[in-house]
């Protein structure tokens, strides 16, 4: 029997139908970006590439007319697009990456109001995961004040929505981009194996 506070020795391998503890496959880091000022967008991307590596894929830019949630803080005429990064990540880095993207947002804030919103997440072969600072019933705490959400699942060649999937992630622009990121991930994983 394991007592509270005891350290579990995971150096042995479970047998007889139990799962074997292993590291997950790497994933493709991406960010969803909402902005209104092109200069802020360019400067923030310099920060992102310095910390997270080269941006390799970019979606088309669309008007952010899916919701007015950000308008009181960021103003009108908002634009929306997605980017991914060349280097695959270990998924346990997501909390630290979210903290950095929040720092980047705050670096360009005026009078406490953001000028850019950068949502970090990753694409795996099975799903799309977004990081957030907000807890809710469908989110899981990962560390350092950050939660993770399965935003969409991959099934039969496409990403499938869930009850909480944001409308912009269901747009043609987003789904085409995310499928392209997933294809890129599959090729990179094959090259690394």
Residue 21 domain flag:
no
Residue 42 domain flag:
yes
- Angle between helix 38-52 and helix 94-107 axes, rounded to 10 deg: 150
Residue 75 domain flag:
yes
170 closest CA partner among 77, 82, 57: 82
- What CATH number did the domain enclosing 70 receive? 3.30.70
Domain count along the chain: 1
Residue 175 domain flag:
yes
- Spans of the chain, pLDDT less than 70: 1-17
């Amino acid at each position: 029997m394991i007592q509270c506070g005891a350290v579990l020795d995971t150096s042995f391998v479970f047998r007889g139908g139990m799962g074997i503890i292993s590291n997950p496959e790497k994933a493709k880091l991406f960010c969803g970006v909402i902005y209104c000022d092109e200069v802020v967008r360019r400067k923030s991307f310099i920060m992102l590439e310095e910390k997270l590596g080269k941006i390799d894929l970019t979606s088309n830019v669309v008007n952010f007319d899916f919701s007015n949630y950000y308008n009181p803080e960021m103003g009108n005429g908002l634009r929306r697009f997605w980017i991914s990064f060349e280097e695959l990540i270990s998924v346990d880095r997501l909390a630290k990456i979210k903290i950095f993207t929040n720092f980047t947002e705050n670096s360009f804030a005026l009078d406490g109001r953001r000028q850019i919103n950068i949502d970090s997440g990753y694409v795996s072969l099975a799903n799309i995961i977004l990081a957030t600072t907000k807890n809710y019933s469908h989110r899981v705490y990962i560390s350092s004040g950050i939660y993770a959400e399965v935003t969409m699942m991959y099934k039969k060649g496409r990403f499938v929505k869930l009850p909480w999937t944001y409308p912009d992630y269901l747009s043609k622009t987003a789904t085409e981009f995310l499928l392209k990121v997933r294809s890129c991930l599959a090729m990179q994983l094959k090259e690394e194996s």
